[in-house]
Structure 1
Amino acid sequence: MTSPVAPAGGVHLVVSDIDGTLITPDRALTPAARRAADDVRAAGIRLSLVSSRAPRGMMQFVRELRIDTPIAGLNGGLICDPDGTIRERLSLDPAAARAAVEFLIAHGVEPWLYIDHDWLVRRDDTPQVRHERDVVQTIPVRVDDFDGHYEHVGKIMGVSTDPATLPEVERALADLLAGKASVHRSSPIYLDITHPQANKGYAAKELAKLLDIDIRNTACIGDMNNDIPMLKEAGVSIAMGNAPDNVKAHARFVTRPNTDDGWAFAMESFVLPRA
């Protein structure tokens, strides 16, 4: 376990991942999760969301849970108010963005670019694009190629049709862009490339700072490799039961999977007793 123990005063803020954590595999908020969020709010604990999604793709859950705190999209590359107003951004160096795109294409992984609230794709008719469009309720912008679009890139998402090969692509690209980008899988088929400081650990610290809350009084909960940086920072770190073992190893607590109301169980068992 790498996370510190929360100091006296308990938990004042929860920073939660969305996909694989807050919502079910079919992208729904359960009644138990809604009740738990209400209980967290009633206990005086603030609730914020962090995601590899662009903020626009987070807004459904911001509205449904009545989130009134800043949120972090693009793994911390874009921090916004709950109405979508951008407060902070971290963008990839244009040369690093170009190198990442070229590397992904050469390895059979399709890149998508995220610039502020826009999602750029080379093709908008693939099953992966159609699925993502439905999930995040956002229409992509199709471009013939990405030349001329490497400025202000908040995130590149590499989309693989062969999950077995993505871990090696992740390792090789992380080596290639060492010091220039943060490279983490956000799902078995998605690889996120962001500014080297733009990770969920940075996001959790910035969200806590904006709310004048000590990161040690913050609980973070997630399920994938890109959640590890915030689990390392949190006073109370919680991994989902559906998380890989390497993610669970960085958490103080492990809750049930997201198929069994794991998020609600975590709030009831590990957060509310520390209010």
Structure 2
Amino acid sequence: MSDAAIHPIRFVLSDMDGTLLRPDHLPSQRTLDTVRALRDAGVFFSLASGRPPKAMLQMVEAFGIDIPVAGFNGGTLVNPDGSVLVAHHLPAEAALITLALFSAEPDVEVWLFADGEWLRRDPPGPMVAVEAAGLGYGPLVVESFEPYLDRVDKIVAASHNTQLLVELEALLQPKVQGLAHASRSQPIYLDVTALKANKGEALKTLAAHLGVPLEQTAAIGDGGNDPAMFAVAGLSIAMGQAEEVVKQQANVVTGTNREDGAAEAIEHFVLNR
């Protein structure tokens, strides 16, 4: 049993896509009401996402969040006014290794995030429309990623070939060991970020910022980038549609995002204690 069985939860950190948001990238009214009830109860609530911070702003407003949120898998923590609290950039060496590996795969679309922008080099593939629908904006086309290598927030390999991304993750990890972290935020996305750009570090930083002990925190997520925060949270909750390896690293499993599983877990484990 986690410490959360003894200690009341004072801070909830949640993933967005696949967790708070339904497949249409919108929250249900039940989820909005549950988060509002959390805040009314004096429980801090924030977001941790693989998205760029500017693609989180709509949900920050929708949920009435008034504390920092974590974008780029925890690589950039921003205040509600958009000012940066913490930023971790990918080392240039790791960026070059990653780009070389991803660019050799014809079934992979390679994207780079820097300077608050989503950048691509190649002609748009089918994954661009998927990402644009989620982010709410499209990429900038650049001739080269080289001018941005000293300030990369995230590199993404996007593909409908999910098995290929699993294989690329296994190939990349030893090549960037000690330099970067690679994880699949969703089955179709393989994200590469700085070592400290993970949701576990984000949870620790935000909890310290709020003055909340880690045993009084809860983390909710569904992707391969979420167990990093499961490992440090007092209570960890996996979504019902998460891969089995993600579920195994959580204290409890709730319903799917189609079933408002995040709201269900907050109601049961936080509000109704």
Normalising by structure 2, what TM-score?
0.95
CA–CA distance in 2 between the matches of 1:26 and 1:135? Answer: 8
Which of 58, 62, 65 aligns to 2:63? It is 65
CA–CA distance in 2 between the matches of 1:120 and 1:255? Answer: 36
CA–CA distance in 2 between the matches of 1:216 and 1:31? Answer: 29
Aligned partners of 1:91 and 1:154 also within 8 Å:
yes
Partner of 1:37: 35
Distance 1:124 1:74, change over 3 A: farther
Partner of 2:75: 77
| Cα RMSD after superposing both structures | 1.5
Offset from partner CA, 1:85-127 (integer Å, 9 cap, x none): 1111001111110110111111332221111411111146333
CA–CA distance in 1 between the matches of 2:5 and 2:263? Answer: 23
Equivalent residue letter for 2:72: L
Partner of 1:11: 9
Partner of 2:205: 206
**Which 4+ runs in 1 deviate beyond 2 A?**
6-9, 107-110, 123-127
The unaligned stretches of length 5 or more in structure 1 are: none
Equivalent residue letter for 1:11: I
Aligned partners of 1:208 and 1:218 also within 8 Å:
yes
Deviation at 1:158, TM superposition (A): 1.0
Partner of 1:221: 220
Deviation at 1:7, TM superposition (A): 7.4
The unaligned stretches of length 5 or more in structure 2 are: none
Aligned partners of 1:7 and 1:217 also within 8 Å:
no
Stretch moving more, 93-102 or 110-119: 110-119
Normalising by structure 1, what TM-score?
0.95
Stretch moving more, 128-137 or 248-257: 128-137
Partner of 2:52: 54
Stretch moving more, 124-133 or 147-156: 124-133
Aligned length: 272
Aligned partners of 2:121 and 2:143 also within 8 Å:
yes
CA–CA distance in 2 between the matches of 1:96 and 1:197? Answer: 14
After superposition, residues 93-172 of structure 1 pair within 5 angstroms as 93-108=91-106, 109-123=108-122, 125-172=124-171
Which of 20, 23, 27 aligns to 1:22? It is 20
CA–CA distance in 1 between the matches of 2:115 and 2:202? Answer: 16
CA–CA distance in 1 between the matches of 2:189 and 2:149? Answer: 20
Partner of 2:90: 92
Stretch moving more, 105-114 or 198-207: 105-114
Aligned partners of 2:230 and 2:249 also within 8 Å:
yes
CA–CA distance in 2 between the matches of 1:66 and 1:133? Answer: 24
CA–CA distance in 1 between the matches of 2:19 and 2:180? Answer: 25
Offset from partner CA, 1:49-100 (integer Å, 9 cap, x none): 0000001111111011111010000001100012221111001111110110
Aligned partners of 2:127 and 2:159 also within 8 Å:
no
Offset from partner CA, 1:183-208 (integer Å, 9 cap, x none): 00011110010001211101111111
Stretch moving more, 107-116 or 265-274: 107-116
Deviation at 1:231, TM superposition (A): 0.6
